[in-house]
């Protein structure tokens, strides 16, 4: 019975122990080594009597950091990976939520761990990674732990930014991650020959889509050094040197390559599968990629952390010039409910809030029953027995083909001059204008003005003109400005709040 994600690792390591599993270009781990280190770390934590509780990880992004996460699961605990570059204050907020008794850090991050302790942000035990991975394996202890584990035990807690400024920790269990892995692998063409280039840090759930298929099939993941994402030619050279055939990246990482001319100069030569997501793909850049890889399989992936990684996929097809890129269909064993404000199913073509139902729905926000109760709710269509669904806060609708299309965040819906307007619709129209990169539309509520901010070459006058051709008059922005770069929150997300404040201050 498949009830524990470590079974993927164990099956694969038995089948192909010497195959490369993880590499950052310098340091490597085979599947066999990954299993060995994970079991040692599990034994070490178990010997220290940590069980079914959070273990904080403060490690550089490396193959060993992946082993650390698996080692924590071997011990019967669940991991929380900390961003080593995160400001101490934010780390403190996470510590405050987790109240963990133990933290594992590598030598390089010892100073930071001690600093956390000195500042009173962490009061538990600090363990050395170097010591943990050198511990001898205690098979009997690991077997005992396994026999007691069930598939609803948590594996990890991943932190997302909360609208209140306090990060929320999403806890997910074995069963959800197994469900996600199996469904993902049904749709995407992964196999033991897949060579991934991982872009997202380990403190998100995003790398699960590389790590889990790799454990399942015995594939290989290269952790791309973060700095390479600043230098497109170097990035492409890395992809070619390691014969990367699969990328699952955020849109901005792909557009970095295409917008700066590297697709022509040093095209990645081995790519056969290209997945993108998390942001709207500007059409001109999307078209460049499609033209460069006519034979590759492209997928748009969409999903909230609260529903374990990705929930929807869209295999690309030809789009009309102005057509937004759909998020497509739910993965197998996931159901999408599109609900209107009165808790009814949206009619055909009607906009509704996207809700997720199924094994993918995570356990909730760690130590936060209030926020959990707001977002993980009883299915309003079912008054008969308990059935939790997750409300994403995203608005969507189905197109004529029955594909789900993301419209905007729910909080991006405004009422302006009596009209209900999705700011996302204005953004989508602006993004389709030539020479426009990212756009953000906000509403200056006190001044009752729509403001559009964007990056790109298009002059605001041309932008206004183009929008007049695409949008009804009441949706035209009163403020239209070009920015050198979009402001970001500490999490790297678009800083909508900052832009709204800016709009409110404009003359």
Partner 1 sequence: MNEIIDILTELHDDVDFTTETGLVENGILNSLDIVAIISEIDDRFDVQIPAEEILPENFDSAEALWALVQRLDEA
Whole-number minimum distance, CB 487 to partner 1, in Å?
A: 10
Name the token pair of 182. Answer: 């199996």
Q: Do 74 and 162 form a contact (C-beta atoms < 8 A)?
A: no
Which C-beta is closer to partner 1: that of 88 or that of 260?
260
Tell which residue, 423, 430, 389, 418, has the closest CA to residue 406.
Answer: 423
Q: Do 102 and 56 form a contact (C-beta atoms < 8 A)?
A: yes
Which C-beta is closer to partner 1: that of 234 or that of 470?
234
The CA distances from residue 386 to 362, 376, 494, in Å, are: 15, 12, 36
Beta-carbon count within 10 A of 106 CB: 21
The full DSSP string for 285-341 is HHHHHHHH-TTSEEEEEE--GGGSS--EEEE-----TTPPPP-BEEPTTEEEEEE-T
Whole-number minimum distance, CB 264 to partner 1, in Å?
A: 8
Whole-number minimum distance, CB 59 to partner 1, in Å?
A: 18
Q: Which residues make up the interface to partner 1 (CB under 8 A)?
A: 85, 227, 229-234, 252-253, 256, 259-262, 264-266, 437, 455-457, 484-486, 488
DSSP for residue 342: T
Whole-number minimum distance, CB 488 to partner 1, in Å?
A: 7
Tell which residue, 214, 216, 232, has the closest CA to residue 224.
Answer: 232
Give the β-pairing of 329-330 and 312-315.
Answer: antiparallel
Whole-number minimum distance, CB 484 to partner 1, in Å?
A: 4
Which C-beta is closer to partner 1: that of 265 or that of 468?
265
Helix (H) and strand (E) counts in the chain: 17, 26
Tell which residue, 228, 284, 250, 227, has the closest CA to residue 494.
Answer: 250
Which C-beta is closer to partner 1: that of 188 or that of 439?
439
Q: Do 130 and 104 form a contact (C-beta atoms < 8 A)?
A: no
The CA distances from residue 502 to 423, 436, 441, 481, in Å, are: 16, 21, 12, 11
Which C-beta is closer to partner 1: that of 328 or that of 437?
437
Whole-number minimum distance, CB 223 to partner 1, in Å?
A: 16
Which C-beta is closer to partner 1: that of 214 or that of 255?
255
Which C-beta is closer to partner 1: that of 52 or that of 108?
108
Q: Report the half-sphere exposure of 369 (CA within 13 A, side-chain side).
A: 0
Whole-number minimum distance, CB 282 to partner 1, in Å?
A: 12
Whole-number minimum distance, CB 238 to partner 1, in Å?
A: 14
Which C-beta is closer to partner 1: that of 217 or that of 249?
249
Whole-number minimum distance, CB 192 to partner 1, in Å?
A: 31
Give the β-pairing of 246-250 and 273-277.
Answer: parallel
Whole-number minimum distance, CB 453 to partner 1, in Å?
A: 13
Which C-beta is closer to partner 1: that of 232 or that of 330?
232
Helix (H) or strand (E) holding 494, with range, is none
**Nearest-angstrom CA–CA distance, 344 and 366:** 29
Residue 56 C-alpha from the chain's centroid: 20
Which C-beta is closer to partner 1: that of 405 or that of 486?
486
């Amino acid at each position: 019975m498949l009830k524990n994600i470590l079974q993927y690792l164990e099956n694969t390591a038995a089948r192909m122990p010497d195959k490369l599993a993880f590499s950052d270009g310098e340091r490597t781990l085979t599947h066999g080594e990954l299993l060995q280190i994970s079991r040692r770390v599990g034994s070490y934590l178990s010997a220290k009597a940590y069980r079914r509780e959070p273990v904080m990880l403060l490690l550089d992004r490396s193959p060993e950091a992946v082993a650390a996460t698996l080692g924590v699961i071997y011990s019967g605990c669940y991991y929380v990976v900390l961003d080593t570059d995160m400001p101490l204050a934010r780390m403190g907020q996470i510590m405050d939520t987790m109240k963990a008794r133990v933290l594992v850090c590598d030598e390089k991050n010892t100073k930071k761990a001690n600093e956390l302790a000195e500042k009173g942000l962490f009061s538990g035990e600090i363990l050395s990674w170097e010591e943990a991975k050198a511990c001898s394996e205690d098979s009997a202890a690991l077997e005992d732990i396994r026999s007691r584990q069930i598939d609803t035990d948590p594996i990890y807690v991943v932190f997302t930014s909360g609208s209140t400024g306090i990060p929320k920790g999403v806890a997910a269990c074995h069963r959800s991650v197994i469900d996600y892995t199996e469904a993902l692998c049904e749709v995407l063409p992964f196999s033991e020959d897949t060579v991934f280039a991982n872009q997202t840090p380990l403190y998100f759930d995003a790398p699960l889509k590389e790590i889990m298929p790799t454990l399942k099939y015995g594939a290989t993941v290269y952790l791309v050094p973060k700095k390479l994402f600043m230098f497109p030619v170097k990035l492409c050279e890395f992809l070619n040197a390691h014969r990367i055939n699969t990328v699952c990246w955020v849109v901005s990482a792909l557009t970095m390559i295409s917008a700066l001319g590297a697709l022509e100069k040093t095209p990645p030569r081995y790519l056969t599968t290209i997945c993108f997501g998390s942001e709207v793909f500007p059409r001109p850049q999307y078209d460049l990629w499609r033209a460069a890889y006519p034979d590759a399989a492209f997928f748009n992936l969409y999903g909230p952390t609260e529903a374990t990684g990705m929930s929807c996929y869209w295999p690309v097809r030809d789009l009309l010039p102005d057509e937004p890129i759909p998020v497509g269909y739910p993965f197998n064993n996931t159901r999408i409910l599109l609900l209107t404000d009165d808790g009814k199913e949206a009619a055909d073509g009607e906009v509704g809030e996207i809700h997720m139902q199924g094994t993918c729905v995570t356990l909730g926000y760690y130590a936060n029953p209030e926020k959990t109760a707001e977002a993980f709710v009883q299915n309003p269509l079912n008054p008969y027995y308990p059935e939790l669904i997750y409300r994403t806060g995203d608005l969507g609708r189905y197109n004529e083909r029955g594909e789900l299309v993301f419209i905007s965040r729910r909080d991006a819906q405004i009422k302006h001059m009596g009209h209900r307007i999705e700011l996302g619709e204005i953004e989508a129209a602006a993004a389709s204008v030539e020479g426009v990169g990212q756009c953000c539309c906000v509403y200056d509520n006190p001044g009752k003005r729509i403001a559009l901010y964007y990056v790109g070459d298009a002059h605001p006058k041309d932008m206004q003109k183009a929008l007049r051709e695409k949008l009804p008059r009441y949706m035209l922005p009163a403020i239209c400005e070009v920015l050198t770069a979009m402001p970001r929150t500490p999490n790297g997300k678009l800083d909508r709040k900052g832009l709204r404040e800016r709009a409110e201050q404009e003359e």
